[in-house]
Amino acid sequence: MSDKYNDAIAKSTFLEDDATVAASVEKIIAEHFEENNNLDVWKFLLNTIDLTTLSATDSPVSVSNFVERVNAFDEEYPMLNNVAAICTYPNFAQVVRAVLEVSKVDIACVSGGFPSSQTFNEVKIAETALAVDGGADEIDIVLNVGNFLDGDYEAVCDEIAEQKAACRDARLKVILETGALKTVENIKAASILSMYSGADFLKTSTGKEFPGASLEAAYVMAKCIKEYYEQTGVMVGFKAAGGVRTTDEAVKYYTVIKEVLGEKWLTNEYFRIGASSLANSVLSSILGQPTKFF
């Protein structure tokens, strides 16, 4: 069926299959990982982390304490740049806004029925709007994977566009849930449709129900982001999330993005890693000793 959604996907010249993508990623890591596994890159990576707490036990007190550690980091490690953002459930946006004292750290909130995207669209829009009203600078929503796999691209795109409108000045990250999409073909189509609908960032995973980030998914998403930039002049960011826990793993994502998208994307305006434990791993690498600060 020919429509504007399928037409947008069909315009892509990225035609690699799963095996080719896996081989391409393996080659990139083999050739470039070691040159990027160094102190300067570790420092950069610390400044790309969306420090995340998404637990059933989160409370105003626990989230406040979480934020206070970010505040304290600036005092204890003035020679290092802080994390990029604090990411919480949307009902804690006001708490983070009230406690956060570091001007260069953004407030990110998951929204839109996270992590399943299974609720009324009106609820998704309201949740996003309320999070922004509460102080969120960035909103992370989940692609409606069920509608996508059914081929209802219009519904998928309409949802993203409506939540983009609800974001107002906040940036919208669309989580593709690549572990559920599985194939290169699906990840490519989801990437294109998300950008077509106004995504400011493409994000790999929720880290909840399905397998988290993979280097192969990152490669496909980065290829789509590059193609979209070449076609429109619009830079869309990339965020890896779901299971990125060690410095080595983070450096591998950095390496893929550097090789596919180039230096222009190596800023926390366009490159992020969502994690809870990664910050301590990277900080330990920087300091040369085991450190549990966050």
Q: Give the residue numbers marked as catalytic.
A: 140, 203, 239
The position carrying tokens 């950069």 is 44
Dihedral angle at the C-alpha atoms of 99, 101, 103, 107, nearest 10 degrees?
-20
Residue 290 CA to residue 244 CA, distance in Å, equals 18
Q: For residues 108 and 87, is the Cβ–Cβ distance under 8 A?
A: yes
Grouping H, G, I as helix, E, B as strand and the rest as coil, residue 133 is helix
Q: For residues 219 and 252, is the Cβ–Cβ distance under 8 A?
A: no
Q: For residues 176 and 221, is the Cβ–Cβ distance under 8 A?
A: yes
Q: Is 174 exposed, middle or buried (0-12, 13-18, 19+ CB in 10 A)?
A: buried
Tokens at 18, concatenated:
């799963």
Question: 49-52 and 271-275 as β-strands: parallel, antiparallel, unpaired?
Answer: parallel
